[in-house]
Structure 1
Amino acid sequence: MWTSVRRAASATAHLAVSAAMAFGMWIFVTVLEITAIGVVTVVGIWLLPETVLIIRRIAGAKRSLTTRWTGVRIPEAYRPITGTMRQRITTAVRDPGTLMDLRWMVAYWFYGALLALALPLWPVGLVVDGVWGGLLRRTPVVLPLIVKIADLEADWSTALLKPSPKAQLAARVEELAATRADAISAHGAELRRIERDLHDGAQANLVALSMRIGLAKRAYDRDPETARKLLDEAQAQAETALTELRQVVRGIHPPILSDRGLVGAVRALAASSGLRVSVEDDGLEEGVRAPAAVETAAYFVVAEALTNVAKYSGVSRAEVRLVRFRRGLRIRVRDEGRGGADEKGGSGLLGMRRRVAALDGFMEVSSPVGGPTVIEAELPCVW
């Protein structure tokens, strides 16, 4: 019974916010009228792209509200409104998303008004159902109806706000082009890093090793003690070169992933991070492995995230969660630190995003000032 009451109360809150948004959009009609007059008279045509951007924000807010209720993300597919004024106006007019948002807005004026008119009846229904079900032991009637209305409203919003297949395809092409460019950039940076590490580390040690062996060969007959000393130094140099090579290889594909799997590798990361890290795994049974590229990307996301916690958060605790779902792997790293993480601040977030995007995944960062900081990434794969 109380589960139904809580569900109905959530539905009521969802419908109340939806009704409030509908009321706000009735007020927004004034903005649309001013924009229309400006376009007709040409004097205010510059208002058109700005109004379209506002409509996008309103539609985005409704997408977020619907996603919170249904748990299913509604995608966006807009062309960026940038460039000269002429380009901005052209994009605003020709973008299919503009027409679809206007269609949703007109529909929402009507069914949102119905929600607003019915809203005062729902709290009464909740009380009646509570008494009906609690005292008379009867099956609630109004509670399921309110939830059904919220579901219906969410279905309407999803159908109206979901971009057309053509718009989704165009957005997907642009996304893949950007992802490809980021992947090429990240790959080039990785190659330069490997080359630099090999040149400054292993190569320098191998050159020094070769020189010492050559000197030892020359001194072998006339000065055995010096030759022996040079060979000892050469052995130490060889061990140093091997260490350098292992570090380079570890930066490409950590060997611990092959030895222990992703969960074991992440637990080892947590143990060596200097933090108190709780690691949870959901659905990653022993023997079930993601593709090597996915495990490598997930490992480096966790490694970079924990490094950021240690450097910037000001706390000594973090949480890591690995979740296997039907179409991929989800990584979540959370800390209760000071927040304010910025991708442009050299925190490694941009590199993480590029690494995830290269595998057609996506990453979200929530880090308000004062915390908490939550980094979530999803990597698609076939299990």
Structure 2
Amino acid sequence: MGKSVRDAGRATRHLAVAAAMTFGLWLFTTVLLIAVFGTLLVVGAWLLPEAVLLVRRIAGAKRQLTARWTGQRIPEAYLPLTGTVRERVRTAVRDPGTRTDLRWMFAAYVYGVLVVVAVPLWPVALVVDGVRAGLPRARPLVLPLIVRLADLEADWSTALLKPSPAAQLSARVEELAATRADAIAAHGAELRRIERDLHDGAQANLVALSMRIGLAKRAYDRDPDTARRLLDEAQAQAEQALTELRHVVRGIHPPILTDRGLVGAVRALAAVSGLRVGVEVAGLEDDGVRAPAAVEAAAYFVIAEALTNAAKYSGAPGAAVRLERVRRGLLVRVADEGGGGADETAGSGLVGIRRRVAALDGTVEISSPPGGPTVVEARLPCVW
């Protein structure tokens, strides 16, 4: 009886929130009708995109409510409502996600009535099942029905809110277009950085080296001491040019990844980061299988940038790095012990992390509440 009461209690809370949302949907009908008529009359066309955004928020809240009951996340797929009023109205009307949400809303008007009626069954259920529990061989009857009703409500909502293949395809195309734009921007920025490093560093040193060697040749016969000094300076200039070239090469693909692999490279990076860094590895050293070079380079970049940010801005004494081989990719997680509050728009390198990972169709989650900690988690897809 105790478990049935607890389950029915959870179901009742779920149904009560669902009932409140149903009342909200009935009231929202007026807003939706005003937006539609305003759009038909042209003067109120701006109302439709705002109403669609509100529908998305309501549907999102319903997805979260249903996910808490079922334990399974319901994906969403929407096209961004940006641009002029005309473009926003066109996108709002043509977006398959809008049709999915409206279908759920109209269906919820109907099956939501059952939810509203079911909530008051709780006290009745307690009385009925309490009486039955006192009878020989009797089992609770009404409480499981409340749980079953919550299951049905969640199943209906899941089926109706799940994006259609057309919506998923549209959202995926939009995502790939944005990812491609970010990848092109990141590639262009990387080329400019390499050009700048070569021009200001290695090229300048090589020009100075050539000049010193020329001066040493002229002074060789008449002033050997000066020639020797110029050759010494030329040697130092050549070593500096080599250092600059190594720096440029490391920015393209760190040689240490080729020499030591990702795990060894990350441990070496942790050792020179200036922080107390623990490195945890799961599933990468079992069979010697390595991720593709591009994935390893991106993972290395994420960790290097996150540790650099932690050392420069967070005041963290230490950090933890985790590399994990997952089913369809590589998980990279960096958590520092700093004060948090990282701002992606402040030039902290977090935007670069997102672009580098997005270029490989990966995802990045960044959490940095005030007071800390800052956690950067990247998932890089690859086939093992």
Quick one: percent identity of the two aligned structures?
78
One-letter amino acid of the counterpart of residue 231, structure 2:
L
> Following the alignment from structure 2 to structure 1, what is the Cα–Cα distance between the partners of residues 292 and 13?
43
Superposition TM-score, scaled by structure 2 size: 0.82
Tell me the matched-pair count.
377
The residue that corresponds to 1:77 in the other structure is: 77
> Following the alignment from structure 1 to structure 2, what is the Cα–Cα distance between the partners of residues 216 and 44?
80
Contact (CA 8 Å) 1:23, 1:113: kept in 2 or not?
no
* 1:376–1:123 Cα change, 3 Å: farther
By how many angstroms is 1:71 displaced? 6.3
Question: RMSD of aligned C-alpha atoms?
Answer: 3.8
By how many angstroms is 1:235 displaced? 1.8
Deviations 1:122-156 (A, max 9, x none): 79999xx9xxxxxxxxx999999988776665554
> Following the alignment from structure 2 to structure 1, what is the Cα–Cα distance between the partners of residues 5 and 231?
81
1:317 corresponds to 2:318: yes
By how many angstroms is 1:297 displaced? 0.7
Bigger CA drift: 238-247 or 73-82? 73-82
By how many angstroms is 1:252 displaced? 0.8
One-letter amino acid of the counterpart of residue 173, structure 1:
V
* 1:42–1:239 Cα change, 3 Å: closer
Deviations 1:54-106 (A, max 9, x none): 00112223334445666655443323223333333333222222111011123
> Following the alignment from structure 1 to structure 2, what is the Cα–Cα distance between the partners of residues 268 and 344?
29
> Following the alignment from structure 1 to structure 2, what is the Cα–Cα distance between the partners of residues 338 and 3?
43
Deviations 1:196-229 (A, max 9, x none): 1111111111122222222233333333333332
Bigger radius of gyration? 2
The residue that corresponds to 2:133 in the other structure is: none
| Structure 1 SS opposite 2:56 | helix
One-letter amino acid of the counterpart of residue 383, structure 2:
V
Deviations 1:7-32 (A, max 9, x none): 99877766665554444434433433
The residue that corresponds to 2:331 in the other structure is: 330
> Following the alignment from structure 1 to structure 2, what is the Cα–Cα distance between the partners of residues 208 and 366?
47
Listed as ranges, the matches of 1:1-383 within 5 Å are 17-36=17-36, 38=38, 44-67=44-67, 73-115=73-115, 117-118=117-118, 154-286=154-286, 287-335=288-336, 337-383=338-384
* 1:232–1:13 Cα change, 3 Å: farther
* 1:45–1:257 Cα change, 3 Å: same
> Following the alignment from structure 2 to structure 1, what is the Cα–Cα distance between the partners of residues 38 and 4?
50
Bigger CA drift: 56-65 or 28-37? 28-37
Contact (CA 8 Å) 1:213, 1:231: kept in 2 or not?
yes
By how many angstroms is 1:195 displaced? 1.0
> Following the alignment from structure 1 to structure 2, what is the Cα–Cα distance between the partners of residues 227 and 21?
87
Bigger CA drift: 358-367 or 5-14? 5-14
Deviations 1:170-196 (A, max 9, x none): 222222222222211111111111111
> Following the alignment from structure 2 to structure 1, what is the Cα–Cα distance between the partners of residues 32 and 38?
10
Contact (CA 8 Å) 2:8, 2:143: kept in 1 or not?
yes
One-letter amino acid of the counterpart of residue 291, structure 1:
P
> Following the alignment from structure 2 to structure 1, what is the Cα–Cα distance between the partners of residues 210 and 26?
80
> Following the alignment from structure 1 to structure 2, what is the Cα–Cα distance between the partners of residues 317 and 146?
51
| Structure 2 SS opposite 1:332 | strand
By how many angstroms is 1:381 displaced? 0.7
> Following the alignment from structure 2 to structure 1, what is the Cα–Cα distance between the partners of residues 320 and 121?
44
Bigger CA drift: 10-19 or 57-66? 10-19
| Structure 2 SS opposite 1:344 | helix
> Following the alignment from structure 1 to structure 2, what is the Cα–Cα distance between the partners of residues 24 and 311?
48
One-letter amino acid of the counterpart of residue 249, structure 1:
V
One-letter amino acid of the counterpart of residue 106, structure 1:
F
Deviations 1:283-308 (A, max 9, x none): 22241211010111111111112222
By how many angstroms is 1:161 displaced? 2.0
